[in-house]
Structure formats: C-alpha cells, structure tokens
Amino acid sequence: MYTLDDLLNLMSRLRDPQYGCPWDIKQTYATIVPHTLEEAYEVADAIERSDFEHLQGELGDLLFQVVYYSQLAREEGRFEFAGVIDSITRKLIRRHPHVFPTGDLYASLDVPRLSEEQVKLRWEEIKAHERAEKAHAPQQLSLLDDVPTALPALSRAAKLQKRAAQVGFDWPGALPVLDKVREELDEVLEAMADDDSAAIHDEVGDLLFSVVNLARHLKVDPETALRGANAKFDRRFRFIEQALRDTLRPIEDCTLEDLDALWGEAKRQEKNLPSCG
C-alpha cells in the first residue's frame, strides 16, 4: 500500500521541470484554488449522500490539494509538507488545553473534563489571542480580519455575524431577527415598486443576510440548510419530469398549475401520505 511519502514523491515527480507533467508544471497557487474548492465540495457531497464507498477517494483528492500547495511552497523555499503537519498539530494542541493542559501531545489523558460550552468559550478566547499576536498594528485589528473572503457567501455571512456577536453586537433572540427579516422583505417590495434595479439588488442582499442571521439564532447552518433545500428541489423537479415522461406529456405543454400539482404529489410521496387525487 502506498504511503504519504509516496504521494509526496509523486507530487515532486509531477512538477519536475524536465520530466514532469506539462499541466502540473505550469500550475500556480491561484490556478489550483478552484480545484481545491471543487474537491472540498465533492467531499461534502459524498457525506451528504452517505456515499462512504467513494468518500475515501474524495478525501484523497482533497489531501492532494494540500500536497500540491506544499510542493509549490517547497520549490520557492517557503515551507514543506512537514511544516504544514507541524503547524496544524501545534495549533490544535494550543487550542485544546482542556485535553493537553501541559502542551504535551503524549501527556496523561487523566485531565478534568469541560462542558461543550466551556470548550467553545475557551476556543474563541484562544483564537482571539492568536489574532492579536498576528497583528502588526493592534490599533487597526478587526474582529473580522481572518474571516476568509473566499468563503461561500452564506457561510461568510454567518461567520461575520458570529464574530460580531462576541462583543455583543447581536440580536437577543430569534424573534427580533424574524421581525428584521420582515422589515427587509418590505424594503425589497418598496424597491420593486420603485422599479429600482440597484436598490432591488441591495435589498435582496440585506434580506439574505437577515435570513442567515435567523438561521444562526435557530442554530441552523445556513449553507447546509440551503444545500438541503437545493437537493429537495432537485429531487422533486426530477419527479415532475419523470411523471410527465410516464404519461408522454411534454413539460412545455403544462401550465404552472399542472406542474404545481405534480410538485404537491412529490411532497406527499416524500412524506408517505396518501394522495388526495
């Protein structure tokens, strides 16, 4: 069975200026990023579909992205894969003092247990300290500095809100956020009435941001929730298409009412309820 060292050697061979792969040789950090994002989503997709048969392969594809960046950095004399391993291990030991109180990975496991809430609080305290240590100009440090701009918009919105909530800039509960969602929806309607495309764009963004806030207060991950809604829509629309194929009826010939009736049938079948028709 091949090992991690074999994978590192393979990566080095692929990037060999004389004997390597032409495609791999010309890649840069920036050109690899889209592939990294795609591989991460494929891991998430396999997990969501409980496709554990292929999860191992998808995780391997994702690991290869880390190996790729490490090879690029090695060629430039920045760092190597071993440094990546050392960095994350040190960080996780530092961020889990309730598991490694002495900072020793192999110390005794007989340490006091903390509650999940205590662990979360300590985690945020440690991360805040790390952010302060990174700052060259502490007076310019923002709580939002290390929230990646490349995150999916829903995930980034949730992280920005969570970070601001650490200093009390937050709604006290879900109901006031629901009122804010209604307010933002009214503002969308006003922009529509004015036929102001720029305002519509802006207000729809505010509405989405408020919905993310509502999800956060309800302890729902917005990205996961929307992925679930996407999957639901995909499943039900395919049901409509198949039902029409079974009756040899072109979808283009159907009215919205026809399609909506089939949509309702799809929902009833998913809930295992008897059809009213």
Query: Sign (positive/negative) of CA torsion 246, 250, 252, 253?
Result: negative
Is 258:240 a contact under the CB 8 Å cutoff? no
**pLDDT tens string 255-274:** 999 999 999 999 999 886 55
Is 248:204 a contact under the CB 8 Å cutoff? no
Is 140:132 a contact under the CB 8 Å cutoff? no
Is 106:46 a contact under the CB 8 Å cutoff? no
Taking the C-alpha atoms of residue 87 and residue 81, their distance in angstroms, rounded to an integer, is 10
Lowest mean pLDDT among 96-105, 134-143, 158-167: 134-143
The structure tokens listed for 211 are 């919905």
Q: What amino acid is encoded at 41 in this protein?
A: Y
Residue 213's CB is within 10 A of a number of other CB atoms, namely 25
Taking the C-alpha atoms of residue 61 and residue 241, their distance in angstroms, rounded to an integer, is 34
pTM reported for the whole predicted model:
0.67
Instruction: Band the pLDDT of 63: cuts 50, 70, 90.
Output: very high
Taking the C-alpha atoms of residue 126 and residue 132, their distance in angstroms, rounded to an integer, is 10
Looking at residue 147, its pLDDT comes to 86
Query: Sign (positive/negative) of CA torsion 93, 95, 99, 101?
Result: positive
**pLDDT tens string 80-133:** 999 999 999 998 988 888 788 778 888 777 777 777 777 777 777 777 777 666
Instruction: Band the pLDDT of 275: cuts 50, 70, 90.
Output: very low
